[in-house]
Structure 1
Amino acid sequence: MILFELVPFEALRVIWWLLLGVLLIGFALTDGFDMGVGALLPFAGKTDTERRVIINTVGPVWEGNQVWFILGGGAIFAAWPPLYAVSFSGFYLAMFLILVALILRPVAFKYRSKREGERWRRNWDWALFIGGALPALLFGVAVGNVLLGVPFHLTPDLMPIYDGGLFGKLFGLLRPFALLCGVVSLAMLVMHGAGWLVLKTDGAVQARARDFGQKAALVVLVGYALAGLWLAFGISGYAFVTEPPHDGPSNPLLSEVTRSASWFAAYGERPWIAIAPVLGFVGTFMARRALVGGEVSPLLWSKLGIFGMISSVGLVMFPFILPSYLDPNSSLTVWDASSSHMTLFVMLVAGVIFLPIILAYTAWVYRVLWGKVTADAVEDPHSHSY
């Protein structure tokens, strides 16, 4: 028997759906607090020294945290090629803005302290704000559009055609529900960033981070609840009329899909998935309480809340990955949008080898860099701080 046949094709598809979720959640949990800290920078730091303290809480780790973003993009490209083709072309302008914002961040880190001028440093501080707030907002907008459905269809030879038009690839994404998801995403990462600042700073910066974090957590709780009600009663979901074979060829046109009453029908079919939104609410509520006092717990609770909220989207949509509202039959699902059996197996072997190494190295880095960043440390002329 050929080695890759030891793991069924159906199982590999589900495994890679789970791994994609792990990579995306890993990105939100790690680089998410970097973006949240950037969004808080102009407000939590009032003096140049305070802002340097804030910057240096994430300065040593942000590059490593972005590995999860790269891994997520690579996993989409290799494991789900149609998803990569449709999403990266359909969301092209939005992705371009995200990449520009993410590029601003390392440039701002490197150049901010090259000159002492107040205007110079203030401009780079706002660049760091854009580098944190804009991706956090647009990632949420993208998730909202995935739940609503995307305007694409597949030709008979499976070529994806995005019908949104050039400006539709940006402004067409700014639908009310998607914007609400963007606000929830931004507030969620601001809350997460506040939890990180509470852990890594003290004094006035920590106090301001607690204040902004509590407000952001309240926005998350209200926004997530509103999004759930909207999704339950105002947005149609998707369902199979004819389900494709789970180990069949990757051809979405072999199945028949229709619009359903609501995505929430998934809770009736799989009641256990309700644990995800419960974790989202509990984690966020407890993070808000912990931001009143305590240092480590706000970050841990916010991680739980983020895990629950992101998981709730994937679980309620399963097995759909990217639905099409123009042609539901072109919708991409776990069962008909993956790479080949052998490709998924080879990638799984590589993942089993290298993912633990990445996790071990990341844990070691955080252990070495554990501790608070102080004003004395960043002002020390012999330090290597930003």
Structure 2
Amino acid sequence: MLLDYTTLKLIWWLLVGVLLVGFAIMDGHDMGVGTLLPFVGRDDVERRVIINTVGPHWDGNQVWFITGGGAIFAAWPLVYATAFSGFYWAMLAVLWALFFRPVGFDYRSKIDNPTWRRTWDWGLFVGGAVPPLIFGVAFGNLFLGVPFSFDTQLVSTYSGSFWELLSPFALLCGVVSSAMISFHGAIYLAHRTQGEIQWRALRAAGFFGGLMLLAFAAAGVWLWMGIPGYVIQSALDTAAQPNPLAKTVIREAGAWFANYRHYPLTLALPAVAFVAVPVAQALARSGRTMAAFWASALAIVGVIGTAGAALFPFILPSSIDPNASLTVWDSVSSQLTLTIMLVATLLFMPIIITYTAWAYRVMGGKVTAAYVRENSHSAY
């Protein structure tokens, strides 16, 4: 028996959120390690140690990125078409930055030349630092509204530019995202290393954890004080076929906090973020680095969950035609498509999670300078 359309729409909103969180946790820690690479590693051996902490897993973690993009394409086709059109140059910048990762990991240590290796170290930095920054800026623009509209044939027109995306609030959200991923990478690095590298990773975790919470709090205050949210004013049939123009939307001060007023349990999400970061830092300093990693992951759940709960039911608000804003209810695929996708997810997601857990268990443990020297021709 098919689930009703409204329930499927909610389930896929949650599942896309799970995929975004999974991407931030799994691909995020190796991007964070790449961001820290030129600063935590002081010589070639130390940098090879750092690279080998994520070397066996980084490409497998890209599954979360690819799956997230595919899920948005299949479950929210109007969101995919509109966002990837409006954020075209931003998405290209992400892809260009990601190009440095496979080449950097695979070829960085093939030639024993300091200039060659330093160049790829900075390439890995770009591949790790740029995507989280752009994703954070993109999230910031969701709260501000994106300048797009639809014609009567539901063809979207984007009227903004790349530079308009870089507003002060959006850049602040980029700082939140970058600090969050760098913090997560530092905690993971502390788990997989020892000695001087681990000590520097712990210092980085202290800095980026504090920066993340400060920027996160500042973004919340800014939203409350100066950025009006979106409210659906008309009656809405949540089980109807998608039609983003069949509603009336207004902008209203404080509207981004309406869900927190109506559903107080959602306040647990920002609370989790503020609690999990210092807990992760304390656990890492005490040597319980695996527990610290999961606390850091919980902080990511809190930050992304906070944004998702504030935006709901909006996915892509429009700044020039609020009525055209895309929501959970009116930007999705058909009921049959969502059902088939749900079955496929229930079948394959446990396989992905099981394989990932097995891979991390088999290829875990500390990476040391001695290991890199002994395996200089096979290690990254």
Moved more, 195-204 or 283-292: 283-292
Scaled by the length of structure 1, the TM-score of the pair is 0.96
The 8 Å contact of residues 217 and 287 in structure 1, kept in 2 or not, is answered as no
CA shift digits 1:221-273 (9 cap, x unpaired): 11111011111111110001114211001001011111021201221111111
Match of 1:286 among 279, 284, 289: 279
User: Paired residue for 1:226?
Assistant: 218
The reply to whether residue 38 of structure 1 matches residue 29 of structure 2 is no
Structure 2 length as normaliser, TM-score? Answer: 0.98
Report how far residue 383 of structure 1 moved: 6.1
Q: Partner residue of 2:112?
A: 116
The correspondence for 1:10, drawn from 6, 18, 26, is 6
Q: Could you tell me which of 192, 202, 217 is aligned with 2:209?
A: 217
- Equivalence map 1:170-189=2 (5 Å): 170-189=162-181
2:306 aligns to what SS in structure 1? helix
CA distance in 2 between counterparts of 1:366 and 1:9 reads 38
Q: Deviations over 1:186-230 (max 9, x none)?
A: 111111000001100001110100001100001011111101111
Aligned residues with identical type, % of pairs: 53
Aligned equivalents of 2:67, 2:339: Cα separation in 1? 17
Deviation of 1:370 after TM superposition, in Å, equals: 1.7
- Match of 1:66, SS state, is helix
Q: How far has the Cα of 1:369 moved from its partner?
A: 1.0
Alignment of 1:354-369 (within 5 A): 354-369=348-363
1:56-67 to 2 correspondence within 5 Å? 56-67=52-63
Which of residues 232, 238, 258 is equivalent to 2:250? 258
Q: Secondary structure at the match of 2:239?
A: coil
Which of 165, 187, 190 does residue 195 from structure 1 map onto?
A: 187
1:351 aligned residue:
345
Q: Distance in 1 between matches of 2:107 and 2:321?
A: 48
1:40 touches 1:190 (CA, 8 Å); kept in 2?
Answer: yes
Contact 1:221/1:285 (<8 A) preserved:
no
Per-residue CA deviation, residues 345-374 of structure 1 (Å, 9 max, x unaligned), is 011111111111111111111111120111
Please report how far the alpha carbon of residue 382 of structure 1 lies from its aligned counterpart in structure 2 after TM superposition. 6.9
**Aligned AA (2:266):** I
Structure 2 residue 288 is the aligned partner of structure 1 residue 299: no
Alignment partners' CA distance in 1, 2:327 and 2:118: 46
Counterpart Cα distance in 1 of 2:324 and 2:33: 39
Cα deviation per residue 1:8-51 (whole Å; 9 max; x = unaligned)? 00000000000000000000000000110000000100010000
Moved more, 238-247 or 40-49: 238-247
1: CA distance, partners of 2:49 / 2:376: 16
**Separation of aligned partners in 1, 2:53 and 2:96:** 22
Deviation at 1:65, TM superposition (A): 0.7
Task: Name the count of aligned residue pairs.
Answer: 378
Aligned Cα root-mean-square deviation (Å)? 1.0
Task: Report if aligned partners of 1:39, 1:133 keep a CA contact under 8 Å in 2.
Answer: yes
* 1:339 aligned residue (328, 333, 344): 333
Q: What are the superposed Cα offsets for residues 130-149 of structure 1, whole Å, 9 maximum, x if unpaired? A: 00011111111011011111
CA contact (8 A) 1:180 1:227 kept: yes
Equivalent residue, structure 2, for 1:137: 133
What does residue 68 of structure 1 align with? 64
* Whole-angstrom distance in 2 between the partners of 1:368 and 1:381: 18
Mapped partners of 2:39, 2:376: distance in 1: 28
Matched-pair contact (CA < 8 Å) for 1:273–1:316? no
Partner of 1:105 in structure 2? 101
Unpaired segments ≥5 residues, structure 2: none
Contact 1:94 1:138 in 2 (8 A): yes
Partner in structure 1 of residue 303 of structure 2 = 309
